[in-house]
A and B are shown apart, each in its own frame.
Chain A
Amino acid sequence: MLQVNNINVFYGKIHALKDVSLNVNQGEIVALIGANGAGKSTTLKTISGMLRSRTGDITFMDESISHIDPYKLISRGLAHVPEGRRVFLQMTVQENLEMGAYTCKDHTKEGLEDVYNRFPRLLHRKNQIAGTLSGGEQQMLAMGRALMGQPKLLMLDEPSMGLAPILVQFIFDMILELKSAGATILLVEQNAEMALKIADRAYVMESGRIVLSGTGEELANSDAIKKAYLGG
């Protein structure tokens, strides 16, 4: 579904991604894990066109998206929930969700129903300004907003960041639920243990390179991973 072939991305002189290749197949949850500054967010930003690679190619649904304008990706089915949620803080919950359906406004009504079903807390706050939501609610809103665009592939950048364990569990359950409903997910996480538990496959990044890959289970049991990320 998504193929990233040998991309190299720079911030000025900083070589942030080095020969990164990865792929995501239809219906999978693929996790991308690694320490702070490894290049996970940079990878997602490059896939969604906010950054450009100097080499290689990115294809989505068998078409190259390496040079496409970022705003055109959601209508092709590629959604990105960025790091730090990035909801529109001065707009209401409902307005945020409506923006999610910007490219498919006929779907707004069903979309809202679906999102409010998944996240009942958002329904109670639909006319509240997003800036007044808690961190967990903002994460739900960011995910809900992305779902409004009816994505085929959902890229999530650290959805568990800064959340209490119970909410982390809720978000991960939601990801599994989305998968069983047919979604494909590329999940970036610091919380390697949780991510490997739900992932079909995973890639490990270290200073801009993919250093390991395998099934979630393989990686969870590998000694290198245990040492580096799972605390022994």
Chain B
Amino acid sequence: MITLIQALLNGLSLGSIYALIALGYTMVYGIAKMLNFAHGDVIMVGAYAVITSVVQAKMPGVLGVVVSIAICALLGVTIEFLAYRPLRKAASLTVLITAIGVSYLLQNVAQLIYGTEQKAFPELFDSIPTLTLGEVSIEGSLLLTLGLTAVIMAALTLFINYTRVGKAMRAVSEDKEAAELMGISVNRTITVTFAIGSVLAAVASVFYGASYTYIRPTTGAMPGIKAFTAAVFGGIGSIPGAMLGGILLGVIEQMSKTYISTKWSDAIVFGVLVLVLVIKPTGLLGKKISEKV
């Protein structure tokens, strides 16, 4: 029983990280109709930004996180501006290949700056006490991950549903031309989307770094692909779908690790994805995509 609760909590925490990253994939897909495969690498950049500011520049942890968030937001917006905006009318395969290129570029630049050796992620959350409930002990960082992710998701949902910019984002995601006729700048909306997605990735990178402790230039690849899987799992383009998909994926992965085998956990995760897509091709909460002529 204790093992189960512990596995469930760890799964939720891992799932929260996936969900935060998956939101970036799904929002960019929903609004710019592209798969930003460089999104995972933004996590890596975010983690290195924390290392540089906290370990090397000796900033306090909170400030390091803020720096990381700012750098990721700027990075996301810059990638969009330089790499994707010129391709707005290009074939989707062209954009996809460009995204993969951006991903390799980021990894290689990180390698040039930080080398291939892994770097230790600072222990930001050590001061948060561990919560002990009977025989279950919950680490402070886990609680923070769960709590902060819940707050972020709630805030994002409110933002999308009730603010003027959030509504404009939904309008652009439905019909770009009609949105422009309303006076909404599609380019600016896409910029905002990349900024939000990258901020979420930066937050995820802090949680990820805290639980995996070591960072290398390829660090972003695995959580990136898992989060992409989570976004597809939940229904790509759907914000609640990304949240649900991320959480479920984390829980499934952790349960497989605890009860079946660590080696097989990834295979099981992707197996579940295939199964879901066979039964419901649009993902759990995905809407039917009607191709516009």
| Cα–Cα, bound, A71→B287 (Å) | 28
- Indicate if the CB atoms of A102 and B184 lie closer than 8 Å: yes
- Indicate if the CB atoms of B184 and A95 lie closer than 8 Å: no
Interface residues on B, range: 10 to 19
Given contacts A95-B167, A99-B167, A102-B168, contact A69 B185 (CB under 8 A): yes
- Indicate if the CB atoms of A99 and B182 lie closer than 8 Å: yes
Considering the complex, which residues of chain A in the window 75-128 have a beta carbon less than 8 Å from any beta carbon of chain B?
75, 79-80, 82, 86-91, 95, 98-100, 102-103, 105
Binary A-proximity of B172-214 (CB < 8 A = 1, otherwise 0): 0011011111111110000000000000000000000000000
Residues of B within 8 A of A149 (CB): 182-183
Residues of B within 8 A of A90 (CB): 170, 174, 287
Interface assignment of A145: CB less than 8 Å from any CB of chain B: yes
Residues of B within 8 A of A89 (CB): 174
- Indicate if the CB atoms of B181 and A88 lie closer than 8 Å: no
Count A-B contacts at CB 8 Å: 67
Residues of B within 8 A of A102 (CB): 164, 168, 182-184
Given contacts A82-B177, A86-B177, A88-B175, contact A74 B182 (CB under 8 A): yes
Interface residues on A, range: 20 to 34
Given contacts A86-B175, A89-B174, A90-B174, contact A71 B167 (CB under 8 A): no
Residues of B within 8 A of A226 (CB): none
Residues of A within 8 A of B184 (CB): 71, 99, 102
Given contacts A95-B167, A102-B168, contact A50 B177 (CB under 8 A): yes
Interface residues of B (CB under 8 A from A): 164, 167-168, 170-171, 174-175, 177-186, 287
Q: List 29 A-B contacts (CB under 8 A).
A: A70-B180, A71-B180, A71-B182, A71-B183, A72-B183, A74-B181, A74-B182, A82-B178, A82-B181, A86-B178, A86-B181, A87-B178, A88-B170, A88-B171, A88-B174, A88-B175, A91-B170, A91-B171, A95-B170, A99-B168, A99-B179, A99-B182, A99-B184, A102-B182, A103-B182, A103-B183, A105-B164, A149-B182, A149-B183
Query: Given A71-B183, A88-B171, A90-B174, 12 more contacts at CB 8 Å?
Result: A48-B181, A71-B180, A73-B181, A88-B175, A99-B171, A99-B179, A100-B182, A102-B184, A103-B182, A103-B183, A105-B164, A149-B183
